[in-house]
Structure 1
């Protein structure tokens, strides 16, 4: 089966696939007649990160920077789908970087995190991808990305754990070499996700 190369192609094929899946369930509710179409639209929206790149989203959002400070943004909402079960994981992302002659517009940090979150993911890889994209875009002296989230594949199925929180951390540059600096911003990034 060839991969669709446009959103409209993807929508049609996904809708057919959902119709096939739902036809295997003993559904009796007439309200599910349009579910394949709605579910297809939702899945394309939740995976829109496949249809764009960090370069496209960053655009002209890179600016010169002469200072010596640190940029720290916390509480960026992360909504992604676990690639193993297609169930959501929801939480918050904290991004900290030390500029070296270039900085990103603050909204670009959210856009970068959304590009990778809006794909089928595992949290460990998502954290790496965000850090790598920032490093590639502006070559900072250091990058620290922390994601804390709740995975519905652990809440709704399998172990059915009540309040599991997963924390993933990626340290690059000065953050990889300076434990004290990392701990300072790890503490700053504390934010418990709520569902």
Structure 2
């Protein structure tokens, strides 16, 4: 990867050997390894030891989980917030694991629409709740710093499964809870 980054720098008309760029290929390679670290995450093992029995039928919600990803079309970042809610069916999950699931899918070459579905589908499969809802709000640098250059645009995607899809009341409760001001 370092060789390729060096070639890109040269193709841009820069001297890859000048002081400020000499170590850039190494730094970029390490950065991209981190940005794509989600490919190496086994999402099932994330929650394996963090599932707990609980007789509850109330909504559990984690909101404002920061996410950072790379647009698969331009390799430019998109970033924002992920909100996850679910209604358990005898099993709850450690709260940090929900954020780790979001990170596992964000740290891949991605489109926001797919990532939203992947997070919701994983939670549905791994925790087996009555329902799950995921909303992601993100700013895309591929839309802000190039192309249409719309600085204030925010993309919002949602995925609702199970009771969140079937029950208008559950879906409405979820959406109203994520729209509240922080404590």
Interval containing the TM-score (normalised by the shorter chain):
over 0.9
Q: TM-score normalised to the size of structure 1?
A: 0.88
- Residue of structure 1 in register with 2:166 after alignment: 177
What CA distance in whole angstroms lies between the structure 1 residues aligned with 2:138 and 2:178?
Answer: 13
Please give the per-residue CA displacement for 1:143-194, whole angstroms capped at 9, x wherever unaligned. 00000010000100000002101000000001101123212211322389xx
State how 1:66-85 maps to structure 2 within 5 Å. 66-85=55-74
1:109 and 2:123 aligned: no
| Runs of 4+ off more than 4 Å | none
- Residue of structure 1 in register with 2:142 after alignment: 153
Extract unaligned runs of 5+ from structure 2. none
SS in 2 for 1:32: coil
May I ask how many residue pairs the two structures share in their alignment? 179
1:98 and 2:87 aligned: yes
- Residue of structure 2 in register with 1:58 after alignment: 47
Distance 1:111 1:25, change over 3 A: same
- Residue of structure 1 in register with 2:7 after alignment: 20
Q: How much is the aligned-residue C-alpha RMSD, in angstroms? A: 1.5
- Residue of structure 2 in register with 1:10 after alignment: none
- Residue of structure 1 in register with 2:23 after alignment: 34
What CA distance in whole angstroms lies between the structure 2 residues aligned with 1:111 and 1:185?
Answer: 20
